[in-house]
């Protein structure tokens, strides 16, 4: 499975980040050190967590632990709330005394296996966090931190542990779709730096170009070319802030056919030029 390291830009004062992802946002296989909880508010999603696949509908939740390889393929009409955090959100003494990370890492990860009563409790708290995010009250961060303490307390007390749930098999049709998408992700990871044709990726997926085009658009919500360009930009973003490689070299090695195309797509996706992005988020001192 193709994977890359994501660097979530958490609020440094809080150790927390909230965002909304609509159906046209494809989360390709990746991992990060931070914890992440998603709440699906509309539509359906297929989720891969390490070597397991799940399907969620509106109201469903998933909890990704630090280091989990995960991806999300959503229907175009879907919408999901994303909550990311790390241990800096909580009091350092509490984290150490409770061994908080260790306890979180034992929890079951998908709401398919959670009691509906606890599901409702968690959804209520998450919605309260969303409401706080939408206002500019002076105590906003204080309230969000308090709600996150409540959320984690509910999870620790009431969610089942990994070894307490039996994961059912995914239906054959959905499993076939996810296996095919994994082939596509892996192909792109190996070849994104070179010229990738529709014929090449269709062959890797085991389809004709005509059928593959329809299959990919239906299950991913964007064309393959859109996905490929976004993937290349994601890779470029990582290299820009995590290495001292010149931007010109990253561009030339990133699979784009022209400088103009790279800069246009980068600015469209990120809202900044590559140089502005590096100056703002550079992690290489």
- pLDDT value of residue 95: 92
Looking at the fold, whether 102 and 158 belong to one and the same domain comes out as: yes
Looking at the fold, whether 34 and 133 belong to one and the same domain comes out as: yes
Work out the angle at residue 38's Cα, subtended by the Cα atoms of residues 36 and 41, and round it to the nearest 5 degrees.
165
Number of Cα atoms under 13 Å in the Cβ half of residue 218: 9
**How many domains is the chain built from?**
2
- Find, among 23, 4, 114, 8, the residue nearest to 70 by Cα: 4
3 state SS of 176: helix
203-241 residue pLDDT tens: 999 999 999 999 888 877 678 998 888 888 878 887 887
Looking at the fold, whether 160 and 20 belong to one and the same domain comes out as: yes
Contact yes or no for 89/148 (Cβ under 8 A):
yes
Looking at the fold, whether 199 and 215 belong to one and the same domain comes out as: yes
Looking at the fold, whether 139 and 209 belong to one and the same domain comes out as: no
- pLDDT value of residue 216: 87
Report yes or no on whether pTM surpasses 0.75.
no
The answer to whether residue 41 is domain-embedded is yes
- pLDDT value of residue 151: 97
Low-confidence ranges of the chain (pLDDT < 50): 1-3
Looking at the fold, whether 190 and 248 belong to one and the same domain comes out as: yes
Range of the structural domain that residue 31 is part of: 16-164
The answer to whether residue 1 is domain-embedded is no
Q: Domain holding 108: CATH number? A: 2.60.120.280
The answer to whether residue 62 is domain-embedded is yes
Domain's final residue, options 164, 185, 217: 164
Domain's final residue, options 114, 130, 164: 164
Looking at the fold, whether 151 and 239 belong to one and the same domain comes out as: no
Contact yes or no for 31/142 (Cβ under 8 A):
no
Contact yes or no for 187/197 (Cβ under 8 A):
no
């Amino acid at each position: 499975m193709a994977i890359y390291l994501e660097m979530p830009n958490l609020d440094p004062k809080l150790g927390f980040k909230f965002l909304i992802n609509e159906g046209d946002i494809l989360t390709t296989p990746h991992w990060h050190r931070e914890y992440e909880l998603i709440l699906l508010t509309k539509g359906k999603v297929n989720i891969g967590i390490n070597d397991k696949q799940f399907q969620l509908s509106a109201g469903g939740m998933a909890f990704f632990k630090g280091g989990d390889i995960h991806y999300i393929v959503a229907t175009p009409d879907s919408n999901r709330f994303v909550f990311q955090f790390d241990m800096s959100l909580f009091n350092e003494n509490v984290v150490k005394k409770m061994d908080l990370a260790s306890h979180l890492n034992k929890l079951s990860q998908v709401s398919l296996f959670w009691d509906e009563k606890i599901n409702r409790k968690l959804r209520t708290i998450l919605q309260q966090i969303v409401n706080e995010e939408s206002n500019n009250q002076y105590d906003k961060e204080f309230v969000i931190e308090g709600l996150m303490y409540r959320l984690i307390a509910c999870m620790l007390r009431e969610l089942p542990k990994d070894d307490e749930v039996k994961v059912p098999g995914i239906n054959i049709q959905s499993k076939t779709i996810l296996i095919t998408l994994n082939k596509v992700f892996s192909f792109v990871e190996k070849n994104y730096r070179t010229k990738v044709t529709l014929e090449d990726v269709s062959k890797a997926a085991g389809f004709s170009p005509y059928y593959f085009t329809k299959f990919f658009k239906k299950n991913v919500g964007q064309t393959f070319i859109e996905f490929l360009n976004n993937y290349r930009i994601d890779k470029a973003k990582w290299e820009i802030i995590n290495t001292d490689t010149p931007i010109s070299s990253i561009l030339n090695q990133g699979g784009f056919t022209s400088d103009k195309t790279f800069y246009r797509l980068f600015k469209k996706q990120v809202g900044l030029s590559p140089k502005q992005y590096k100056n703002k988020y550079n992690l290489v001192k």
